[in-house]
């Protein structure tokens, strides 16, 4: 160790000079965030559950799901879901239905939740769906989350 001691100041000054110089690699400028697609106002055709959600804040994230629920109210099957972004106005939705059979011993419920900045702010009270067929549910009112 003692034989390298005279070289220590030279090594430290070289290290400081390297750190103080210009970087040799350039950092790419940050990419702009991708623009979110504006919700389409054209009606969506095809079999599914349609309607509109009332009271969704602009920029809020909305998750709607069609669930198969047991007698105790616990979700047992996910039959369809859709993710939307609120616009501050009535938010139209279309939850597509495929050729699914109603699961045995389960009732169908449409459930929804609205979150803003990762925090649950509103929910759609569970709405029972009688059968899997094309239907318009009309205007659905959201309620504040507990």
pLDDT grade, residue 60 (50/70/90)? very high
pLDDT at 57: 86
User: Is residue 79 one of the residues assigned to a domain?
Assistant: yes
Distance CA 79, CA 84 (A): 17
CATH number, domain at 109? 2.60.40.2990
**3-class state of residue 20 by DSSP:** helix
**3-class state of residue 113 by DSSP:** strand
Residue 54 and residue 93 in contact, taking contact as beta carbons nearer than 8 Å: no
pLDDT at 47: 78
Give the mean pLDDT of 78-90: 91
pLDDT grade, residue 18 (50/70/90)? low
Q: How many domains does the chain have?
A: 1
**3-class state of residue 73 by DSSP:** coil
Residue 16's φ and ψ, nearest 5 degrees, are -65, -40
Tell me which residue range forms the domain holding 135: 48-96+105-142
User: Is residue 6 one of the residues assigned to a domain?
Assistant: no
pLDDT at 130 over 80: yes
**This prediction's pTM:** 0.65
pLDDT at 19 over 70: no
User: Is residue 75 one of the residues assigned to a domain?
Assistant: yes
Distance CA 48, CA 110 (A): 12
């Amino acid at each position: 160790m003692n034989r390298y001691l005279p070289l220590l100041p030279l090594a430290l000054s070289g290290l400081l000079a390297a750190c103080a110089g210009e970087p040799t690699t350039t950092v790419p400028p940050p990419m702009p965030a991708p623009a979110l697609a504006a919700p389409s106002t054209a009606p969506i055709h095809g079999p599914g559950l349609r309607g509109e959600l009332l009271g969704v804040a602009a920029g809020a994230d909305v998750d709607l799901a069609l669930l198969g629920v047991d007698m105790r109210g616990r979700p047992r099957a996910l039959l369809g879901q859709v993710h939307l972004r609120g616009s501050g106005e009535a938010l139209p939705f279309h939850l597509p239905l495929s050729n699914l059979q109603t699961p045995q011993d389960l009732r169908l419920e449409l459930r929804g939740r609205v979150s803003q900045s990762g925090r649950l702010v509103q929910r759609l009270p569970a709405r029972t769906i009688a059968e899997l067929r094309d239907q318009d549910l009309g205007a659905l009112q959201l309620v504040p989350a507990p």
